[in-house]
């Protein structure tokens, strides 16, 4: 991790980093990468898991919280249903009778809506400005990418109907146009890997022409598998603009091959110039 004269904050490069002047398409994750509307979602999901999981003899609530957190974050970036499938499997292996994963998903979304509904309402009324709930300095990067003629895609593990609604109130839909994708109840019909494969196939481009920004391991791992360049956004969601990296995210995302790690987008423009070689 280091700062240069071009960067005002911390930017970390992997040893294998090299510029990619041929990049033409850019993929973004949504929650935690661009949007902060759902900031604090683990504080809804973890207690729900703890509530549902049958404890084993001698197991404390803290033990259950730790187990829940590890299961949840290991699957962060995938569709929410995968976390609920994991919950159902944990209940079963502990001798319980789990509900259907889709029931757990809808119950989680109901609880989450109670936590974040006021944020969406405030965006709708204008009481909160869109940039207040975007990761710090995200908009200048989006503007620059569009200005350079690059093609932008948004793919999220959150349900597509919610992603589109939240992208609209954050005023970012215009950067992505029709290329906003999210989870479906028929979860086998969507994945970030499928979005990446579609981009490469439909535009007949090599993986080396793909750049991705994300704070979850899935989009970083999928991008690297396709031959793309992956920028990990180790965003400090609870303190937007702090300039500090979330160390859990940083460690996890470097572990799956991130080429660059940033805490937010304060240095995105000089970084983009470095990546594109111009």
Q: How high is the pLDDT of residue 6? A: 84
Same domain, 155 and 106: no
pLDDT > 60? residue 5: no
Same domain? For 151 and 246 the reply is yes
> 154: which strand partners?
28, 180
Indicate whether 67 and 96 sit together in one domain.
yes
Alpha-carbon span 133 to 149, nearest angstrom = 26
Q: How confident is the model at residue 184 (pLDDT cuts 50, 70, 90)?
A: confident
| Residue 3, in any domain of the structure | no
Mean pLDDT, rounded, for 212-219: 94
Are 54 and 30 found together in one domain? no
pTM of the model: 0.92
Tell me the pLDDT band of 1, cut-offs 50, 70 and 90.
Answer: very low
The overall average pLDDT reported for the chain is: 95
Q: Does residue 113 surpass a pLDDT of 80?
A: yes
CA pair distance 158, 183, nearest whole angstrom: 5
Q: Over pLDDT 70: what percentage of the chain? A: 98
pLDDT digits (tens, 9 = 90+) for 42-60: 999 999 999 999 999 999 9
Dump the DSSP string for 210-228: EEEEESSHHHHHHHHHTT-
Query: pLDDT digits over 136-149, tens only?
Result: 999 999 999 999 99
Q: Which of 93, 58, 16 is nearest to 259 (CA)?
A: 16
Q: Are residues 140 and 259 in the same domain?
A: yes
pLDDT in tens, 75-94: 988 999 999 999 999 999 99
Domain containing 162 — which CATH number? 3.40.50.1000
Residue 3 has pLDDT above 70, yes or no: no
Measured over the CA atoms of residue 256, residue 257, residue 262 and residue 265, the dihedral's sign is negative
| CA gap 217, 170 in Å, rounded | 24
User: Residue 80: which of 181, 157, 163 has the closest Cα?
Assistant: 157
Among the candidates 125, 150, 173, a domain finishes at: 125
Range of the domain at 228: 12-36+134-276
Which residues does 24 contact at the CB level (< 8 Å), separation at least 6?
150, 151, 203, 205, 209
Lowest mean pLDDT among 3-7, 153-157, 180-184: 3-7
Q: How far, in Å, are 126, 178, 199 from residue 162 at the CA level?
A: 19, 15, 22
Length of the chain: 278
pLDDT of residue 185: 81
- Position 6 in a domain: no
The verdict on 216 and 271 lying in the same domain is yes
Domain boundary among 99, 125, 151: 125
Same domain, 67 and 176: no
Beta strands, E only, the chain:
12-13, 25-28, 151-159, 180-183, 210-214, 229-233, 260-262
Domain boundary residue, one of 77, 97, 125:
125
pLDDT digits (tens, 9 = 90+) for 187-207: 899 999 999 999 999 999 999
CA distance 14 to 200: 24
One domain, residues 117 and 207: no
Residue 102, class by beta-carbon neighbours within 10 Å (0-12 exposed, 13-18 middle, 19+ buried)?
Answer: middle
Domains contained in the chain, number: 2
Same domain, 74 and 183: no
Asked whether the predicted pLDDT for residue 2 surpasses 70, the reply is no
In a shared domain, residues 110 and 187 = no
Q: Residue 121 is inside which H or E element, if any?
A: helix 101-125
């Amino acid at each position: 991790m280091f700062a240069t004269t071009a960067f005002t904050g911390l930017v970390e490069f992997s040893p294998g980093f090299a510029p990619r002047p041929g990049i033409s398409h850019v993929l973004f994750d949504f929650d935690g990468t661009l949007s902060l509307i759902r900031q604090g979602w683990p504080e809804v999901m973890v207690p729900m898991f703890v509530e549902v999981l049958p404890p084993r003899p001698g197991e404390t609530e803290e033990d259950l919280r730790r187990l829940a957190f590890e299961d949840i974050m290991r699957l962060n970036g995938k569709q929410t249903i995968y976390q609920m499938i994991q919950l159902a499997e944990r209940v079963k292996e502990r001798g319980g009778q789990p509900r259907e994963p889709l029931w757990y998903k809808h119950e989680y979304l109901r609880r989450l809506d109670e936590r974040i509904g006021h944020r969406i309402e405030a965006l709708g009324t204008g009481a909160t400005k869109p940039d207040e709930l975007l990761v710090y300095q995200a908009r200048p990067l989006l503007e620059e990418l569009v200005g350079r003629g690059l093609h932008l895609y948004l793919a999220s593990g959150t349900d597509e109907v919610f992603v589109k609604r939240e992208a609209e109130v954050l005023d970012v839909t215009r950067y992505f146009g029709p290329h906003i994708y999210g989870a479906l109840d028929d979860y086998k019909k969507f994945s970030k890997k499928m979005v990446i494969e579609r981009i490469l196939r439909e535009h007949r481009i090599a993986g080396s022409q793909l750049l991705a920004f994300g704070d979850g391991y899935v989009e970083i791992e999928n991008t690297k598998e396709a031959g793309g360049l992956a920028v990990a956004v180790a965003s400090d969601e609870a303190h937007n603009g702090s300039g500090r990296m979330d160390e859990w995210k940083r460690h996890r995302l470097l572990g799956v091959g991130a080429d660059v790690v940033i805490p937010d987008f304060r240095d995105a423009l000089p970084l983009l110039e470095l990546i594109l070689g111009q």
